[in-house]
Chain A
């Protein structure tokens, strides 16, 4: 693989992002003045209780929702510009694969639309990419022939295939069972460590966030806001032995305490 590209990424900056939804005429502030910066090639996890607006924040950065106030910039570009240039790859909560396309063709999908933005970019070799995701023997299979974990890996490969500098992952492993989930986390960790891009990763799992991230952003609900940010200073490349290190335990305790504080404030 091209060595120059292994630590490519874009800077993502969200400033003062505020979003309100009207629920039965009552405006609810889902995001209140949220600032978030993801450095080029940085892996940032966002964790928090349901309703803290983490998915909303991701959707605003992805351009799938508009913020009421504040701004988002991706390498100095606006979100619509970034979208036009295919700067971001999205991994949704469910694999969302097309049942009539083979694994290979599903992964190729983002390269087949908005082809003008493919010019001058390093489209990854699909077969190679899928092989590195452990799907080398399944290229010609169809989604329904794959397990849930394999399907989610296809969805991740689909986000990586057009080599976007930014990856947005919205709880990609939440629908998997715990054993499969562990396997998927390590797979993603492995792949990302050799293909560093800026990642915004939403999760409900504290160990998952620590294992993968450079920074863990804890959000609080009502109104959705950033409560704490924890730098994860564990050496890279990491592997599953991280789980055994004392620092990992410390981070876990610290973030869990933060979560508890955040949850307590919600209960009146």
Chain B
């Protein structure tokens, strides 16, 4: 048993011991001895203390640099103050960017997976489209973005398109690999009983592709945020969204606003990753996360 498993099982025991129904169901009123678990194990200090220490040390280093070189980075307190002074401006810009990431990223996820399914089922589509995909993928999005702004104006559309372009590839490539990576033995078992293509897709390929799809999501979501930021930088005239806000603030050497915007991006990214992790745990409970089985 690994140490994390030990911790987990100790916690399970603890929870069971705490269950009020346990004694009642057994018809006992005796106070059961709670298994002795040290505070270290009980609060899982080993899990959250080390990263906490890292963050505290980083914070101290930051403050040190900020106070000795005020024109490089602002003190953390000033950043927080900047947000506290005008929360609605930050909130509105955050919402604009969030919308771009959600719409553009969402469209990339749906389109990417659909395209992967079509390419998996119809080889000719893969032959026809993959070269185009490659051409777009190797072109830096920062180079395409200005052209898209010229073509589609300063509204939301070019931002969605840039976000889709960056986020779609990891979804498409990973999902296609996943749809193809089904166990050949299971495929044979199904073919021998004349399972239809749809049945093979639904029962085998779709669920089997989920670990790959989620691996793709893990890359695509930060990419979508990058896409939204890049599009906003390029179309700064619109002056909406965290990227535009950062771009304007930086040009005016307004470090507090710049870093406040950056920290908003951090929060946005972490939020999406957290949702993704929870979702993955629900959908992919059967996948052992690359850990050794059993």
A62-B188 CB under 8 A given contacts A100-B207, A100-B286: yes
A109-B203 CB under 8 A given contacts A99-B286, A114-B196: yes
A98-B185 CB under 8 A given contacts A83-B192, A144-B294: no
**Cα separation A110 to B194 with both chains bound (whole Å):** 9
Contact with A along B22-64 (1 / 0, CB 8 A): 0000000000000000000000000000000000000000000
Q: Chain B nearest CB: distance from A246 CB in Å?
A: 39
A89-B195 CB under 8 A given contacts A98-B204, A99-B286: no
Within 8 Å of chain B (Cβ to Cβ): is A113? yes
With a CB–CB cut-off of 8 A, which chain B residues contact A113? 190, 193-196, 199-200, 203
With a CB–CB cut-off of 8 A, which chain B residues contact A100? 207, 286
- Count of A residues near B, CB < 8 Å? 32
Q: Check A92 against B195 for contact (C-beta < 8 Å).
A: no
Closest to A93 in B: B185
Within 8 Å of chain B (Cβ to Cβ): is A90? yes
With a CB–CB cut-off of 8 A, which chain A residues contact B186? 92, 96-98
What class of interface size applies to chain B in its complex with A? 20 to 34
Q: Check A117 against B194 for contact (C-beta < 8 Å).
A: yes
Q: Check B191 against A63 for contact (C-beta < 8 Å).
A: yes
Q: Check A168 against B192 for contact (C-beta < 8 Å).
A: yes
A94-B194 CB under 8 A given contacts A100-B207, A144-B293: no
Q: Chain A nearest CB: distance from B290 CB in Å?
A: 13
**Cα separation A27 to B17 with both chains bound (whole Å):** 70
**Cα separation A96 to B203 with both chains bound (whole Å):** 14
With a CB–CB cut-off of 8 A, which chain A residues contact B196? 113-114
Contact with B along A78-105 (1 / 0, CB 8 A): 0000011010111011111111100000
The 8 closest A-B pairs by CB, nearest first: A96-B185, A92-B185, A113-B195, A100-B286, A96-B186, A113-B199, A90-B192, A114-B194
Query: Could you tell me which B residues sit within 8 Å of A by CB distance?
Result: 183-186, 188-196, 199-200, 203-204, 207-208, 286-288, 293-294
